[in-house]
A and B are shown apart, each in its own frame.
Chain A
Amino acid sequence: MKILLVEDNSRLSDDIRQFLEEDGFIVAQAENFALAREKLDLYQYDAVIIDIGLPDGSGLDLIPLIREMESDTGILIVTARNAVEDKVAGLNRGADDYLTKPFHKAELIARVRSILRRHKSSRNNVLQFNNLQIDTAASQVYIGEKTLKLTRKEYDLLLYFMYNPNRLLTKENIAEHLWGDHIDQADNFDFVYNHIKNLRKKIVNAGGENYIHAMYGMGYKFSETS
């Protein structure tokens, strides 16, 4: 899976590249509009991550270029929070999704995977972790042969973990993913803990293992061993 990352801040760009590479993506970087355009002309990418504020132009203007050339490329735009116009403009021009800065690494991975899944539909819609399976097309979870009945939020939470196995997800990160800014930061603990507890219980009751481990009081990690 090839991804083009358009971001002018080299440190941020390198970090994101590192995250994506850890997850097995091949990442090309472009630090300005001109470079991004050149690369888009030369190569094909499965997904493009675009920061809107570029030194020599608006990342928004890249979207129609991509859409003209290759309609199957996933586009994720990165905007400042509360920049409503940018979000709307980006989505209107054909971006698949947006992410507000600063974002969690896990959130980025989840969004990219979800976009890729939508674009390369039908083939690749099952996620697997040991005997745990998620069919994202049908929103179904299986443990072995058994179907696991989850609430909407529990499903979202499990999917988030499955997109980010073996990675520490902080409580803030999880809360933000599940509830956006409907949640007061001070309440993270209880809410996240409640969901984790219920999800664990359901998985264990259905014969699965407890894959969700608390880490250093900061968050949780989805892995075989703690």
Chain B
Amino acid sequence: MKRPRSFKLLSKTTFIYLIFTFIAFYSSALFLTKEADEFIDHDLEISYGYMERRVTRQIKSGKSLEEISKRAETIKLTAAPLSGQYPVYQDTLIADEESGELLPYRSKTTVIAVDSSYYQVHILKSVDDFYSLRDDIFEALIPAFLFLALGILLFNVLVGGYLFRPFNAILTAMKNYQIGLGVKAEKISTSTTEFNRMQNLFHQMVERIELDYRHLKEYTENMAHEIQTPLAVIRNKAEILMADEKVMTHQAGNIKVIYDEGNQLSRLSDTLNLLTKIENSEFKDQQLITTRPIVEKHVAAIQELAELKSFKISTDLSDDHQLLIDPFLFDIVLKNLLRNALRYGTNEGPISINTDERHLSISNFGAPLKVPFEKLLERFYHNGNGNASLGLGLSLVKEICDKHRLVLDYQYRDGQHVISIRPGK
């Protein structure tokens, strides 16, 4: 599964903030230049109006057209202009007489009527100052924006670390916190509301989980101690009856049932308790253990049982095989897998126990399974060969593997059931 890319909160806010500032700056630049344009237009219009009135005055006073202001070329029209043809505005560049630099001008060509004659007037105005002002506004905004952006980025780098320090500390505290050690999660003091809320929520959750954990732990402890005591009494009473020959000659069968069922119940509650304890993660003694000596010890312990069933045991063990697991639970895994192999194996070939750098596998010969392997991992699964076994052995193994991120694999090949354990990802 591909995980969507994630970004730091601060980078995200900075990015959004930058976009927002950019838009703000850009639109204010647009607004300001528009304002400037309007101002220019307005100002020019006043100048043009002044010129037009002056030309009109001069024509009325009888000045010849050549004498009229140089900056307003005036031509007499022979006929009345079409309406809407004038005025015409035009922007041009004209070289400065002294420096030869091209400067912007705006011309207005319009028609004025003086004493029923029409004159076309072409007025030229320099707009250099206006345009420089407008460009200055625009150009001043770009460095201002860049400055601000740089400032924000610097702030992000320098101050962001400081602002988020309590957040990171809280995360570390969460990560380091372990249930059931009786140590309270570290409390980080911060004046940031959000962080405080998150932290408080975390502490509340921890308290609830801690409470659940304690209840379950107490429950299993009570079960272990308190249930086993009456069971011990039952077993003892049965043993007392067994010692009584008179009773036994009549009641041996019944007493045996009481004795057997008592034993079964006791083993059942033991194993269920163990399962619950594992589920509740009460075994915390995880170590990296080299399995070879432990496997050898277990093989030695069942060697003689195997011989009684005329099984051979073959081992091929690597010194390099290691597992990160609670040693007590590893014992349970081995015991159960070996017990299963002894119980269900046939003596067509040896029970083999192999380890390499990664895998631990135990295999025994036997007919193929009639049900999927997963079924065997279910609690209280019985294959119908009597009910002396609890049907919890493989469930235990599975549970332990799950808790230690180990993968339990099953294969049937060449007439052999192969169960293997390897570290998961």
Contact = CB atoms under 8 A, between A and B. Distances in A.
6 contacts: A80-B270, A101-B229, A168-B239, A170-B242, A186-B385, A218-B259
Interface of B: 221, 224-226, 228-237, 239-240, 242-243, 248, 252, 255-256, 259-260, 262-263, 266-267, 270, 273-274, 277, 283, 298, 301-302, 304-305, 308-309, 328, 335, 338-340, 342-343, 385-386, 388-389
A103 B389 contact: no
Contacts of A19: 236
A153 interface: yes
A112 B403 CA distance: 38
Given A168-B242, A218-B256, A184 B342 contact: yes
Given A181-B335, A185-B267, A102 B231 contact: yes
Contacts of A15: 232-233, 236-237, 240
Interface of A: 9, 11-12, 15-16, 18-19, 52-53, 80-84, 101-105, 151, 153, 167-168, 170, 172, 179-187, 190-191, 194-195, 215-219
Contacts of B260: 172
Nearest to B327: A84
Contacts of A216: 248, 252, 256
B224 A102 contact: no
B239 A105 contact: yes
A82 B224 contact: yes
Nearest to B274: A82
A19 B335 CA distance: 32
B236 A183 contact: no
Contacts of B302: 182
A12 B339 contact: no
B232 A12 contact: yes
A102 B243 contact: no
A30 to B, nearest CB: 16
Contacts of B233: 9, 11-12, 15
Contact of B305 (A83, A183, A218): A183
A51 B141 CA distance: 85
Contacts of A53: 225-226
A156 to B, nearest CB: 11
Nearest to A191: B308
A180 B335 CA distance: 10
A182 B224 contact: no
A105 B242 CA distance: 12
A112 B423 CA distance: 43
A28 B131 CA distance: 114
Nearest to B242: A168
A172 B328 CA distance: 24
Closest 3 CB pairs of A and B: A102-B232, A80-B224, A186-B388
Given A9-B229, A82-B224, A172-B260, 20 more contacts: A11-B233, A18-B240, A80-B221, A80-B224, A80-B225, A81-B270, A84-B283, A101-B228, A101-B232, A102-B229, A151-B304, A168-B242, A184-B339, A185-B388, A186-B388, A187-B343, A191-B305, A194-B308, A217-B252, A218-B255
A212 B269 CA distance: 33
A130 B287 CA distance: 52
Contact of B309 (A12, A82, A185, A190): A190
Contacts of B224: 80-83
A12 B267 CA distance: 18
Contacts of A82: 224, 270, 273-274, 277
A185 B228 contact: no
A178 B316 CA distance: 27
B337 to A, nearest CB: 12
A184 B394 CA distance: 13
A195 B308 CA distance: 9
A179 B339 CA distance: 11
